[in-house]
Amino acid sequence: MKWVTGWPLIGQQSLTLVNYVMFSGQGDVNEIYYESDGLTLQHKTDEISIYSNTTIDESLSEQIKNIQFLNDEHISIVNGDNLSGDQGERILFLKDLTLAGLNQRVILSQIDTLYTFENQPNWIKK
């Protein structure tokens, strides 16, 4: 089982009846995600954490270090499907984990948070 937020994972401990998980970071985080099936932290930097059920290729892990993000707020990527189909502000779901897909999804998410259109339908931003 695994909890995910938009902040980096600091530590965790599993006891008999209780699991403790601690996250810490800058900025606001409004979402939290839980998956009971073997989700594991596969890659972590100051800007991004990637959680997946499968091991990330070493070359992809190296390439991720070179992505230039638009801001320094940490973001979490979950490799897999989100049943609701919605993306969070700081938790993003990617079914196919590729450098191009990762780069596009994160950059678009960061652009989305830079602009607010008050009293306008959500489709205007898209």
- Sign of the CA dihedral running 113, 92, 66, 8: positive
Beta bridge partners of 44: 49
Which tokens hold the place of 92?
């993003």
pLDDT tens column, 1-49: 588 888 888 888 888 888 888 888 888 888 888 887 778 888 888 888 9
Q: Residues for the chain: how many in total?
A: 126
Query: Using CA atoms, how far apart are residues 64 and 57, in angstroms rounded to an integer?
Result: 11
pLDDT in tens, 88-126: 788 888 888 888 888 778 877 777 777 766 666 656 555
Structure tokens given for 46: 């100051």
Element (H, E) at 4: strand 2-4
Domain-wise residue ranges, the chain: 2-124
